[in-house]
């Protein structure tokens, strides 16, 4: 079946479900539906391990009966199940309370233009080819260095799917998308020490994935470099967050400036609009319409039109991130962030990663973070870390079993530089981040 | 074996035992050693109270069948959200494509297995009227506000799951299970000037919502949970910066057992050990923890969140001793890894749903108690940390490095618990830390039933537990 035809069939289902909701007593309703088909293939020690055929779909519906809300979802897309989901949602709305802030986003905020964002690049789901790719990645990793002694496997995923959103304002929009990824994780040993590391690549277009050989080599190189890691003494030193893990820092920023955290007063960035949070040179732009972008979309999860936005301007907090509900709770208007952010471009200081090491001088180059020790209510930060000890801009030896701690307020203000080489594999595009100082706990 | 589950998952969709045997035989026409079919139907609901009103309610239904075919170390897997003979055959054909045509294995005839039920069969979603669920949420909210009129943000939520599963395998396994699961959570935010702190507490298990209203020391259980949440917020309002560096740490009983889950639990799962990827690989019979340390994984405990009557491969769960008096005794196994390692499955084959492959997972993992009074343990320390509550952790099973983050902690000074300190991440190496356990309390407890374990992108409910423990040295990730 042609993708356009599948899409219009799903749009028809969404339409039917919305009509059914109105018929059952809803005054407003919204529904989203997705369907994703794919393969997930893995090899281990250059032999096939798992071949999975994935096929996931679901429908979620929210109904509003006056100012009361009810929601239901189903993975079973039979007519009976859809009907039951609608009835259940309407039933739930009998028990939820009147809430003046509830309801669909205002009609005039609905997206009306749906440019082709080039998100769909279908390719035949060929398990044989996928297996060949993972084995190639593993072979490259295992052959990289004699200290690579074992493999945790390589995997290849391909997903082709579509997403549709509709509500009773009349919007009913959807688009197909594709996503391909390849990853490899290997184990190295030396003098009884065993370490593992990995590498991965992800893209909407399969031909644009990094080559299997380079992923294997990258995984092996990272693993070998960790061998012989030691603890270091407790100290206060500068920290360089490698670009592969640096986006997590802005992930915490997303949490702290989200409307949901603000109206619950659960953020360390309350009442901070216009305040200096980052250094003056730091800007963050949101670009939802990047062609083939991994976090591109022309509308959010409530049908609200996405737009280009400045998130951080001259280091100042330019905007919070609202959904319809959180915006109403805070007496403002949504800016299209139901469901998350869309392609953040973080500014840089033009440094290469080796420039950043020199700039840091002596400190810890962090390549792995562990655990969830971040409190967005207070900004307190304490996470497990591994990486490399650096002296005078030169890597000395691998480090593990330490923590880095501080508070996000100081960490944000203490960003000294950001590298020009960006990690483009997520929704935040940032380079490596140099922070003036943090507490390392070790021996 | 439940007839009603057979009816819901099979006969209502026009399937019977013969059609399952046909499907399995079809897989074995390819060169496969083992195949299984996993049917599942689940209902999930949640209700959220916030700002004193019932803000959200949601209901989710899911239903489908997963088909797995194994050939040597290879696994083929496919699933369908439709239960019918056609969908089943289609999934079987996809799964068996892992192996070439021409199999010699015969399917054993499916025999209904008997096992002991570890929890009731009642559907918690139906066992309480929706209006009563709302009253429960409001009662928790009212209690919190009565105890702490300045409580700014109170969020109370409950969720209930009712799940029916049926497993049929080419080795003749034929089992069903009915799995109820409920949970209550209470979170509160306190403010004092610019300072804000949140506290939260929760509980759950394989029973009905009425458990939260049952009597605990002369009052409803939910009052105790609300007090726990308030206590955490109040303590953290007073917390000072946590010290940084290596020092003695005392972990409280119950939920801090997340230590065991991360430090040894994952590293003892069969798949990692078969592959030689775990820091514990090849160490059966060796000392991996201090004397006196006995760690078990037990899926048979009545009504527990991590318990299962049978695992997701139809194997009855067991009381599995992992570490006995410091010596590594065994790993946790599913059928696939057990077979490849030449041992018996241990009832630890679990999966998030029909759309996920099973693998070795923990159930309820805990340490048996020792002889020390917890007061003696605290009194033995000049300077250190006492951590009675945690927020979760993570482990690298290859290097053995693990972290877990405290949610409530105090300084120990001269044998006494003194100032509360801010939450900090603790980091260590599993096998090393287990050897540094020097005192084991006589107060073993299991957690309240809120654990969620993630592995390879799959979440399953688990339990943890332990007595109060002293670890002679652990790195505390503070700022002071």
Instruction: Give yes or no for a contact between B170 and B108, defined as CB atoms under 8 angstroms apart.
Output: yes
Look up the pTM and report it.
0.95
User: In a mutagenesis test of the A interface, which of B13, B42, B58 is the best target, namely the one with the most A β-carbons within 10 Å?
Assistant: B58
Tell me: pLDDT of B453 over 90: yes
The ipTM of this complex is 0.94
Residue B186 or B152, more confident: B186
Tell me: pLDDT of B14 over 70: yes
Q: What is the pLDDT of residue A3?
A: 87
Tell whether B210 lies on the interface with A, counting CB pairs under 8 A. no
Tell me: pLDDT of B39 over 70: yes
User: In a mutagenesis test of the A interface, which of B41, B395, B479, B480 is the best target, namely the one with the most A β-carbons within 10 Å?
Assistant: B479
A99: nearest CA partner in chain B: B55
Contact call for A76 and B81, based on CB within 8 A: yes
* DSSP codes, A406-427: EEHHHHHHTEEEEBSSPB-SSS
User: In a mutagenesis test of the A interface, which of B74, B400, B425 is the best target, namely the one with the most A β-carbons within 10 Å?
Assistant: B425
- Parallel, antiparallel, or unpaired: how do β-strands A363-370 and A235-241 relate? parallel
A74: nearest CB among B60, B97, B425? B60
B59: nearest CB among A92, A102, A401? A92
CA distance A98 to chain B (A): 8
Phi-psi region of A387 (alpha: psi -120 to 50; beta: other; left: phi over 0): left
B477: nearest CB among A194, A195, A405? A405
Residue B152: pLDDT band (50, 70, 90) is confident
Contact call for A92 and B245, based on CB within 8 A: no
Q: What is the pLDDT of residue B197?
A: 95
What residues 217-246 of chain B have any CB closer than 8 A to a CB of chain A? Answer: 242, 244-246
Tell me: pLDDT of B178 over 80: yes
Instruction: Give yes or no for a contact between A311 and A336, defined as CB atoms under 8 angstroms apart.
Output: no
CA distance A320 to chain B (A): 20
**Rounded distance between C-alpha atoms, residue B30 and residue B96, angstroms:** 6
CA distance B317 to chain A (A): 26
Q: What is the pLDDT of residue B112?
A: 87
As beta bridge partners, residue A165 has: A32, A173
User: In a mutagenesis test of the A interface, which of B336, B399, B472 is the best target, namely the one with the most A β-carbons within 10 Å?
Assistant: B399
Instruction: Give yes or no for a contact between A144 and A151, defined as CB atoms under 8 angstroms apart.
Output: no
What residues 439-458 of chain B have any CB closer than 8 A to a CB of chain A? Answer: none
Structure tokens at B222: 């939910």
Residues of B in Cβ contact (< 8 Å) with A92: 57-59, 130
Q: What is the pLDDT of residue B104?
A: 83
Contact call for A378 and B392, based on CB within 8 A: no
**Rounded distance between C-alpha atoms, residue B351 and residue A53, angstroms:** 16
**Rounded distance between C-alpha atoms, residue B304 and residue B350, angstroms:** 16
Q: Which residue has the tokens 């805990």?
A: B366
Instruction: Give yes or no for a contact between A421 and A403, defined as CB atoms under 8 angstroms apart.
Output: no
Tell whether B403 lies on the interface with A, counting CB pairs under 8 A. yes
What residues 258-277 of chain B have any CB closer than 8 A to a CB of chain A? Answer: 275-277
| pLDDT tens track for B218-268 | 999 999 999 999 999 999 999 999 999 999 999 999 999 999 999 999 999
Residue of A246, A428, A273 whose CA lies nearest to A351 = A246
Handedness of CA A122, A128, A129, A131 (dihedral sign): positive
* Rounded mean pLDDT, B73-92: 95
Contact call for A371 and B403, based on CB within 8 A: yes
User: In a mutagenesis test of the A interface, which of B403, B451, B456, B476 is the best target, namely the one with the most A β-carbons within 10 Å?
Assistant: B403
Three-state SS letters, B2-54: CHHHHHHHCHHHCCCHHHHHHHHHHHHCECCCEEEEEEEEEEEEEEEEECCEE
Size of interface A-B (CB pairs under 8 A): 245
B405: nearest CA partner in chain A: A373
Contact call for B394 and A371, based on CB within 8 A: yes
As beta bridge partners, residue B112 has: B174
Residues of A in Cβ contact (< 8 Å) with B422: 378, 380
Instruction: Give yes or no for a contact between B182 and B204, defined as CB atoms under 8 angstroms apart.
Output: yes
Q: What is the pLDDT of residue B279?
A: 93
Phi-psi region of B320 (alpha: psi -120 to 50; beta: other; left: phi over 0): beta
CA distance B287 to chain A (A): 16
DSSP E strands, A228-347: 235-241, 284-286, 309-313, 316-317, 344-346
**Rounded distance between C-alpha atoms, residue A333 and residue A350, angstroms:** 36
A152: nearest CA partner in chain B: B277
Tell whether B61 lies on the interface with A, counting CB pairs under 8 A. yes
A53: nearest CB among B50, B78, B244? B78
Tell whether B358 lies on the interface with A, counting CB pairs under 8 A. no
Residues of A in Cβ contact (< 8 Å) with B50: 264
Percentage above 70 pLDDT, chain B:
100
Q: What is the pLDDT along chain A (443 residues), one digit of tens a residue?
A: 688 899 999 999 999 999 999 999 999 999 999 999 999 999 999 999 999 999 999 999 999 999 999 999 999 888 999 999 999 999 999 999 999 999 999 999 999 999 999 999 999 999 999 999 999 999 999 999 999 999 999 999 999 999 999 999 999 999 999 999 999 999 999 998 899 999 999 999 999 999 999 999 999 999 999 999 999 999 999 999 999 999 999 999 999 999 999 999 999 999 999 999 999 999 999 999 999 999 999 999 999 999 999 999 999 999 999 999 999 999 999 999 999 999 999 999 999 999 999 999 999 999 999 999 999 999 999 999 999 999 999 999 999 999 999 999 999 999 999 999 999 999 999 999 999 999 999 99
Contact call for A265 and B479, based on CB within 8 A: no
H-only helix segments in B148-269: 221-237, 258-260
- Residue B193 to residues A54, A254, B131, B196, Cα–Cα distance (Å): 52, 24, 38, 8
Contact call for A194 and B275, based on CB within 8 A: no
**Rounded distance between C-alpha atoms, residue B417 and residue B412, angstroms:** 5
Contact call for A401 and B429, based on CB within 8 A: yes
Helix H or strand E segment including A131: helix A127-142
Residues of B in Cβ contact (< 8 Å) with A95: 47, 54, 57, 130-131, 133-134
Contact call for A442 and B73, based on CB within 8 A: no
A185: nearest CA partner in chain B: B277
Contact call for B63 and A265, based on CB within 8 A: no
Residues of B in Cβ contact (< 8 Å) with A384: 394, 401, 403, 425, 427, 477
| B85-96 and B17-28 helices, crossing angle to 10° | 20
* DSSP codes, A77-125: -SHHHHHHHHHHHHHHTTTSPP-TT-SPPPGGGB---------------
């Amino acid at each position: 079946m042609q993708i356009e035809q599948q899409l219009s069939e799903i749009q028809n289902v969404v339409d039917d479900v919305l009509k059914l909701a109105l018929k059952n007593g809803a005054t407003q309703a919204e529904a989203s539906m997705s369907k994703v088909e794919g393969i997930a293939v893995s090899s281990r020690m250059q032999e096939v391990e798992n071949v999975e055929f994935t096929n996931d779909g679901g429908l979620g519906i929210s109904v509003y009966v006056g100012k009361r809300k009810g929601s239901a979802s189903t993975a079973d897309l039979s007519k009976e199940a859809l009907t039951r989901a609608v009835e259940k949602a309407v039933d739930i709305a009998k028990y939820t309370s009147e809430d003046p802030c509830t309801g669909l986003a205002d009609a005039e905020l609905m997206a009306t233009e749906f440019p082709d964002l080039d998100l769909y690049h279908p390719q035949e789901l060929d398990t044989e080819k996928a297996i060949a790719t993972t084995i190639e990645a593993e072979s490259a990793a295992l052959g990289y260095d004699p200290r690579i002694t074992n493999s945790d496997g390589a995997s290849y995923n391909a997903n082709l799917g579509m997403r549709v959103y509709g509500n009773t304002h009349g919007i009913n929009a959807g688009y197909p998308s594709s996503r391909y990824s390849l990853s490899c994780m290997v184990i190295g040993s030396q003098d009884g020490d065993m370490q593992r590391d990995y590498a991965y690549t992800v893209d909407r277009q399969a031909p644009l994935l990094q080559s299997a050989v380079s992923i294997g080599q990258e995984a092996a190189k990272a693993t070998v470099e960790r061998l012989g890691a030691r603890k270091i003494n407790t100290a206060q030193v500068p920290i360089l967050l490698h670009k592969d893990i640096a986006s997590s820092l802005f992930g915490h920023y997303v949490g702290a400036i989200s409307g949901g955290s603000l109206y619950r007063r659960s953020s360390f960035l309350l009442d901070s609009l216009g305040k200096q949070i980052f250094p003056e040179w730091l800007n963050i732009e949101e670009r939802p319409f990047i062609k083939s972008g991994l976090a591109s979309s022309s509308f959010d999860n409530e049908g609200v039109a996405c737009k280009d936005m400045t998130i951080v301007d001259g280091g100042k907090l330019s905007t919070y991130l609202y959904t319809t509900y959180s915006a109403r709770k805070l007496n403002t208007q949504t800016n299209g962030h139901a469901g998350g952010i869309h392609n953040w471009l973080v500014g840089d200081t033009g440094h290469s990663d080796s420039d950043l090491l020199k700039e840091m001088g002596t400190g810890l180059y962090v390549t792995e973070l562990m655990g969830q020790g971040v409190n967005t209510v207070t900004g307190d930060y304490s996470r497990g870390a591994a990486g490399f000890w650096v002296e005078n801009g030169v890597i000395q030896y691998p480090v593990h079993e330490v923590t880095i701690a501080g508070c996000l307020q100081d960490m944000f203000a203490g960003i000294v530089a950001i590298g020009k080489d960006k990690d483009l594999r997520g929704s935040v595009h940032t380079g490596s981040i140099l922070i003036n100082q943090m507490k390392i706990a070790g021996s | 074996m439940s007839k009603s589950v057979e009816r819901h998952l099979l006969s209502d969709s026009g399937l019977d035992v013969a059609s399952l045997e046909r499907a399995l035989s079809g897989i074995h026409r390819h060169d496969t050693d083992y195949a299984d079919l996993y049917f599942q139907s689940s209902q999930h609901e949640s209700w959220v109270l916030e700002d004193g009103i019932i803000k959200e309610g949601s209901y989710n239904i899911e239903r489908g069948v997963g088909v797995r075919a194994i050939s040597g170390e290879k696994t083929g897997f496919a699933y369908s959200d439709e239960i019918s003979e056609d969908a089943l055959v289609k999934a079987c054909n996809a799964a068996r494509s892992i192996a070439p045509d021409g199999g010699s294995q015969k399917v054993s005839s499916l025999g209904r297995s008997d096992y002991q039920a570890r929890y009731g069969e009642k559907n918690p979603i139906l066992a309480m009227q929706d209006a009563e669920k709302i009253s429960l949420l409001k009662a928790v909210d009212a209690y919190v506000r009565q105890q702490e009129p300045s409580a700014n943000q109170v969020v109370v939520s409950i969720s209930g799951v009712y799940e029916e599963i049926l497993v049929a395998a080419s080795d003749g396994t034929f089992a069903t299970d009915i799995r109820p699961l409920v949970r209550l959570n209470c979170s509160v935010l306190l403010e004092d000037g610019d300072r804000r702190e949140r506290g939260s507490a929760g509980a759950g298990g394989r029973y009905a919502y009425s458990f939260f209203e049952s009597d605990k020391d002369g009052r409803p259980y939910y009052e105790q949970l609300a007090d726990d949440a308030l206590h955490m917020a109040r303590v953290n309002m007073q917390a000072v910066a946590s010290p940084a560096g290596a020092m003695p740490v005392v972990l409280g009983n119950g939920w801090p057992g997340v230590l065991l889950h991360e430090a040894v639990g994952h590293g003892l799962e069969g798949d990692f050990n078969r592959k030689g990827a775990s820091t514990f690989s090849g160490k059966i019979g060796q000392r991996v923890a201090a004397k006196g340390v006995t760690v078990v994984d037990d899926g048979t405990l009545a009504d527990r969140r991590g318990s299962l009557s049978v695992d997701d491969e139809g194997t009855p769960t067991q009381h599995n001793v992992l570490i006995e008096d410091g010596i590594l005794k065994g790993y946790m196994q599913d059928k696939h890894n057990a077979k490849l390692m030449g041992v018996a499955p241990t009832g630890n084959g679990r999966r998030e749903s029909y759309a996920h492959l099973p693998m070795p997972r923990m159930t309820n993992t805990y340490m048996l108690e020792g002889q020390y009074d917890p007061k003696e343990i605290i009194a033995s320390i000049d300077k250190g940390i006492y951590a009675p509550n945690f927020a979760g952790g993570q482990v690298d099973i290859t290097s053995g490095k693990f972290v877990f983050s405290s949610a409530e902690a105090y300084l120990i000074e001269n044998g006494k618990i003194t100032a509360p300190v801010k939450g900090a991440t603790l980091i260590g190496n599993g096998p090393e830390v287990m050897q540094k356990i020097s005192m084991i309390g006589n107060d073993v407890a299991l957690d309240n039933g809120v654990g969620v374990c993630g592995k390879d992108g799959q979440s399953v409910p688990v339990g943890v537990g332990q007595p109060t423990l002293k670890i002679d040295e652990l790195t505390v990730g503070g700022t002071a």
